Chains A and B, each alone.
Chain A
Amino acid sequence: EVQLVESGGGLVKPGGSLRLSCAASGFTFSSYSMNWVRQAPGKGLEWVSSISSSSSYIYYADSVKGRFTISRDNAKNSLYLQMNSLRAEDTAVYYCARDAPVVPAAPIDYWGQGTLVTVSS
């Protein structure tokens, strides 16, 4: 069974930093591209960042480019999101999500339960 478990969320002041983690199990993590997607309270879904299986390709939404860094450790079956210079508008539930094993274009097929990040003074 595919499991994605996020951790690291919490309350942080504007301008602060936070590092999210996602522990993956139930599949060969090193073979899949991964994503972070966020959802502000009461709002829709917003794609944040993607990383390919070997970290060769990394992409960011314009709203987080230069502030957030996605990374992964295939030996630890883990995905990370380093978030710096946080703003109030970054307040959201952050989901770790896996790309489906479909080529050439893949949807997201599994999502974690999310971790809440609140940016407030």
Chain B
Amino acid sequence: EIVMTQSPATLSVSPGERATLSCRASQSVSSNLAWYQQKPGQAPRLLIYGASTRATGIPARFSGSGSGTEFTLTISSLQSEDFAVYYCQQYNNWPPRTFGQGTKVEIK
């Protein structure tokens, strides 16, 4: 089973600042890595797939990078609606499809 590890667990950022979230895989997942955003009481929403492709309707301030075992989600200028929990997930080698434990982005 591929283990996905996200860091940090919590990120405190001021509105307008840049946020950088990390995700590491225990073995290579090529570029088969997705990022999801989840707000309280809501279902997750797909932000990024293929490590760097934005999903339909996702603002350009969200960008993804990386391949193999190291991945990054960057939010260039945090808006109030971006404060949420973010999960990475690998879909390269499954079952099981594995998620990271999440990074909570909170207001500083």
Contacts and interface: CB of A to CB of B under 8 A. Distances in A.
Interface of A: 35, 44-47, 50, 59-62, 95, 100, 102, 105-114
A109 B99 contact: no
Nearest to B99: A45
A21 B78 CA distance: 37
7 A-B pairs closest in CB distance: A107-B34, A111-B43, A47-B97, A59-B95, A107-B49, A105-B32, A45-B99
Given A105-B32, A109-B49, A50 B97 contact: yes
Nearest to B48: A107
Nearest to A102: B49
Interface string B61-100: 0000000000000000000000000010101101111111
Interface residues of B, number: 25
Contacts of B38: 45
12 contacts: A44-B100, A44-B102, A45-B87, A45-B89, A45-B102, A95-B43, A95-B44, A100-B49, A102-B50, A107-B49, A108-B91, A108-B97
Mostly, the B contact residues are loop
A18 B44 CA distance: 24
B55 interface: yes
Contacts of A45: 36, 38, 44, 87, 89, 99, 102
A50 B102 contact: no
B95 A50 contact: yes
Nearest to B92: A105
